A and B are shown apart, each in its own frame.
Chain A
Amino acid sequence: MFFQETVSQAPQFFGLVPWIVFFPVIGLLFNIAFGGMILKRSPAGEKIVGWVASIASGLTFVVSVLLLVSLLGHPEGMVVPLAEWIKIGSFSANWSFQVDTLSVVMMLVVSIVGTLIHIYSIGYMHEDVRHNGDPGRYGRFFVFMNLFIVSMMILVSADNYLMLFVGWEGVGLCSYLLIGFWYDKGEDGIGNAVAGKKAMITTRIGDVGMLLALFAMFWAFGSLDFNTIFAKAPQVAAASPVIILLITLFMLVAVTGKSAQIPLYVWLPDAMAGPTPVSALIHAATMVTAGVYLVARSADLYILEPQAQFMVTLVGSATALFAATIAVGQFDIKKVLAYSTVSQLGFMVAAVGMGAFVAGMFHLVTHAFFKGLLFLSAGSVIQGVERGAHHIEHDPKLKKQSKSLGPDFDPQDMRNMGGLRSRMKVTFWVYLIGAISLSGLPPLAGFWSKDEILAEANKLYIWAYVLLAIAAIFTAFYMTRQVLMVFFGKPRSAAAEHAQESPPVMTIPLMILAGLTVLGGLINLPEFHTLEHWMEHTLGQAIHKAEFVMLVAALSTVLALLAIVAGWWFYNPRRYEAFWAEPAAKRPDDPLRRLIGPLFELWKNKYWIDELYWAAILNPYIALSRFLADVVDWRFWHDWFHDQALFGGFNRLTGLLAGRIDLGIIDGIANGLGTLAQRVAAVLRSVQTGFVRNYALSIFLGVVIILGYLLLR
């Protein structure tokens, strides 16, 4: 009753917020129920299935816009309860939505990027399912994608930490399912499935951090609702600051898992096993930014605890630099982007860590646009090359000419590309826009948001500024390297030679995202600070005024330009082709190796962190679990203790008694009593027959004796 009244008083559109979850639920239920049938019966089946899912996602965008409109009039937002969920004693958590300026920004990002990627996938998956030889799986992809939108929307719209956690683990599930979408492909046929499992388990380590944060929070605040907790936070912090530190650090563990920060980032590069739209949506634009959102959402807690802020900043800026160096040493087009994502997430985490919540959210938004764009364009490149390979396969004349397209031809290896600029014009231009934005050159979106982070760091934590600025140099360098290797020079494989542009259903979303990448900076330009004023309504006193520092901006632009020049120097078409023309045995895999061979080896092998984790954690756990299962539980406990010591001992004991009494009595008394004794002995001997009734009988006899004693004494 109470719920109804509050909703009816609300500005018209706030009550619609549950539909951001319901629409995609309807979409996925439709495709579960009818998708298979439609795909089988209708020649346009793929279009129907894909568009149903895309429209379901698009409707969440409509709802988000309506919420935005309502917020313009009522920027304080509101809580829209849906149903009671768990209520035990003093604990309660509801299915309840928080509409405020922070959550609606997230909803908009998720729904815009999500919808564009749904549409793109209609074209992409059409080819992908054929390339992988199982068109029946087309519908399943869109079911999982809609499920992802559902979970992500639950995550960003929750009004309490427990509901947030439902979305938090829900997106993890979708990530698992979609990384392993081609679960019968990859290394040894199981590589993709293993990558999915790795993602799920690694992020679950972080999730347990989140759980512990929830427990600590509830017992400190008596609630898990955002509003209650943030209102009580100063008072709890005054009483016992250590509890706030505990909560914020537990949450940091969760952030390192979901947002792929040191030490739990290792799953994200492997997650590239998923189809490319998945990498764009989940592993670049939206899900991985959940950690950034979490810290921004919990701003009121973090600002109370400088130690926690310090830790978050440290983790973020260290990750930013660390991952940027690894990206330089990668050859797989998606791996470069994956490490770049880890690095950019580091920028965001560092920003929200140091208290620059608006800068962090700003970069989250622009990154969603340009990294989504880069991944989708990379997908277009990969399919372009695959189309080239396909073209050769089906043209006998070409097939004879081109020699080197074996079964292990890797369409994602940048060394197999080159010269795609003229073959895939649209893809090239949008890719270039994304790359420039990521490199941080004005006036594209990435410049504004990254610069705001650097300016804040310069003011707050100078060491973080240094780390991030160096990371930014590496960023411009690896993007230059990538663009030059992929698009410039001459094609280095027959497949690249015959690469073809992607269809409009894929390129149009790319162009829209490119537009957003160009214009995205507008949402928080210096002087205007639109996003900042917008966020003020939610973050309140946690916000501090961002300043535009000309010197910082100029310096980072110069540094980025220098890095681009350096990249050009190493990888310009002429030089790279000359390098490529050397005999394969003599030349290393990359020109950079001639200058900094050991470093490049380090980067290429990702500092051997995966190997370290295997040696330090995974193998010991596997060994321990085998030891516990085989030796402790089975051989010692089951076989020796129970079977031999207990049962065997009991049998020996009864055998002994039977034998002793038997013999002793027969020896002693050789008369009628002997017969009786033999009978007794026979009864006792039968105890060791192994029949359960005899064991039971002996136990019952014991009970009767004890019972008799108790009653008669």
Chain B
Amino acid sequence: MNFLLHPLTLVTFFPLVGVVVLLFLRDEQKTLARWVALVTSLITFGISLAVLAQFNPANPDLQLAIDLPWIPLAGWEIHYFLAVDGLSILLVLLTTLLTAVSVLSTWTAVEDRVKQFMIFFLLLEVGMVGVFLAQDLFLFYVFWEFTLVPMYFLIGIWGGGRRTYAAVKFFLYTMAGSILMLLAILWLGIYQGSFQMPALIAKGGIPANIEFWLFLAFAAAFAIKVPMWPLHSWLPDAHVEAPTAGSVILAGVLLKMGTYGFLRFNLSLFPQATVQLAPWMAGLAVIGILYGAAVSYAQKDVKKLVAYSSVSHLGFVMLGLFALNPQGVQGGILQMVNHGLSTGALFIIVGMIYERRHTREMDAFGGLWKVMPIYGALTLIVALSSMGLPGLNGFVGEFTILLGAWGAGQPGAALGSTWFAGLAAVGVILAAVYILLMFQKLFLGPVTKEENRVLLDLNWREVVTLVPLIVLIFWIGLYPKPFFMLMAPAVDKLVAAVQAASAVALIP
């Protein structure tokens, strides 16, 4: 297949077309810049749907692969190797959808240097899609690090009051973890003789003690990105200071790069260490669930509340992945999508009120439902999705994750104790506690502040921004079958591989 017209190349690099067009615009052509970015991201989304159309859900293996030698080195070579499978297809779709939605959400929020903003945004999309498609470790690393740069500038230029601090912290933190991963990648390249995932998986046979350290080196990069407790300290800063669209992408996609990394690389490359460390990872995940929920409850800034809630939600994802059974892993993947939708929507919602009032202190609000009924109703749906109400998407993910984790607690299974699931289930209560408090503080009670009485309800553009997310929230909640169908064969294969490779470790 022609390199440039290969669907995966297209879906990854098409945003560059938009970047090139934007470069020709003048700075004051703001509306045009927005339209260029929106159209570009919509076309990219369209391409990703075309990829979906060519995707065969029954096939558990990598599909639509394009594998070309890129940088030949002595003994081993780096490939331009993109492919998609059931583990990544949904995340690619999520990325392209959220990028378009974010561009729309930022229509009036960003007035300063619009052109540059959009350029960085489209560059970010290239990096993110690349991360989910790359099947060569070196190529993956390039995309992985590349996402840092546009995000660094998005936070550092268009962010809030402490943007420089937050941007530097975000950059250093993620980079510190990535370095360890890079070393592990190099080890694999040198001693296993390849950077390509299929070859590495086929070769296997890494000595158990080395596998253990390699697992940890990869985990360092991914755990910071997720972020797993206690490595979450960069998250509240980055989220609070980032512009709305940046927060949406940060929570919606960038965090998923961490959980996806665990899924794609740690589980398949280091199955023995995975089984060995699963209770530890699950333990940290459960702490994250409870800790994130408790800390969210005490926040006064609504954006910070949503940021900490991500720690809790991503804890559920990690718990599901390390349950190492089909229920847990599929639930984990679906919950990545769910979190992208509902937390993405929550950040958009926070951005809408920030644009109107230029504050995010919850005490500054109250009674907004009366003033802005449409805004209130849409927020309620998203909030309920976030707290896992049955019939909406969050429940399907949380339920399957906990079901898997409980099953993994059976004697001889990955976690060995049902306490992980039992304690994580307490997080379901705590989620209701902080979400309902947030809804109450913003929307219920009487309108106490004069400036809130005159707020305008959502306009058409804002409603259109939220509608696709809300449609998906209902769709996944009521009929998740198509989504599970896409990932099931790939997950089954992965789970079987982990169990086969670690048959010794599974029996204590």
Contact = CB atoms under 8 A, between A and B. Distances in A.
Interface in A155-212: 162, 165-166, 168-170, 173, 176, 180, 183-184, 188-190, 193-194, 197, 200-201, 204-205, 207-208, 211-212
A682 interface: no
Contacts of B479: 83, 85
A66 B242 CA distance: 58
- The B contact surface, by secondary structure, is helix
B183 A706 contact: yes
Interface in A620-657: 621-622, 624-626, 628-630, 633, 637-638, 641-642
A208 B426 contact: yes
Interface of A: 83-89, 91, 134, 162, 165-166, 168-170, 173, 176, 180, 183-184, 188-190, 193-194, 197, 200-201, 204-205, 207-208, 211-212, 214-216, 218-219, 621-622, 624-626, 628-630, 633, 637-638, 641-642, 690, 692, 695-696, 699, 702-703, 706-707, 710-711
Q: Would you list the 7 A-B pairs with minimal beta carbon distance, nearest first?
A: A89-B326, A629-B298, A215-B406, A193-B444, A189-B446, A190-B445, A166-B390
Contacts of A87: 481, 484
B470 to A, nearest CB: 13
Contact size class for B?
A: 35 or more
Contacts of B172: 692, 695-696
6 contacts: A88-B484, A166-B390, A190-B444, A190-B445, A692-B168, A710-B186
B372 interface: no
B230 A88 contact: no
Contacts of A184: 367, 370, 444-447
A48 to B, nearest CB: 20
B186 A628 contact: no
Interface in B449-508: 478-481, 484, 488, 492
B481 A166 contact: no
A710 B436 contact: no
A208 B294 contact: no
Interface string B175-194: 11001001100110010000
B480 A189 contact: no
B15 interface: no
Interface in B386-406: 389-391, 395-396, 399-400, 402-403, 406
Nearest to A143: B377
A208 B391 CA distance: 16
A189 B370 CA distance: 13
Contacts of A183: 369, 443-445
A546 B195 CA distance: 75
A419 B366 CA distance: 42
Contacts of B446: 184, 189-190
Contacts of B299: 629
A215 B402 contact: yes
Interface string B245-279: 00000000000000000000000000000000000
Among A85, A170, A193, find the residue whose CB has the most chain B CB atoms closer than 10 A: A193
B334 to A, nearest CB: 9
B167 interface: yes
Contacts of A624: 294
Given A180-B444, A696-B175, A703-B179, A201 B436 contact: yes
A53 B47 CA distance: 44
Contact of A197 (B175, B426, B440): B440
B220 interface: no
Contact of A211 (B233, B297, B298, B425): B425
B428 A208 contact: yes
A628 B168 CA distance: 25
Contacts of B410: 219
B432 interface: yes
B233 A165 contact: no
A638 B407 contact: no
Contact of A89 (B152, B370, B492): B492
B480 A85 contact: yes
Contact of A201 (B190, B370, B432, B488): B432
Contact of B480 (A86, A170, A622): A86
Contact of B390 (A169, A216, A703, A710): A169
Interface centre among A88, A176, A204, A219 (most CB of B within 10 A): A88
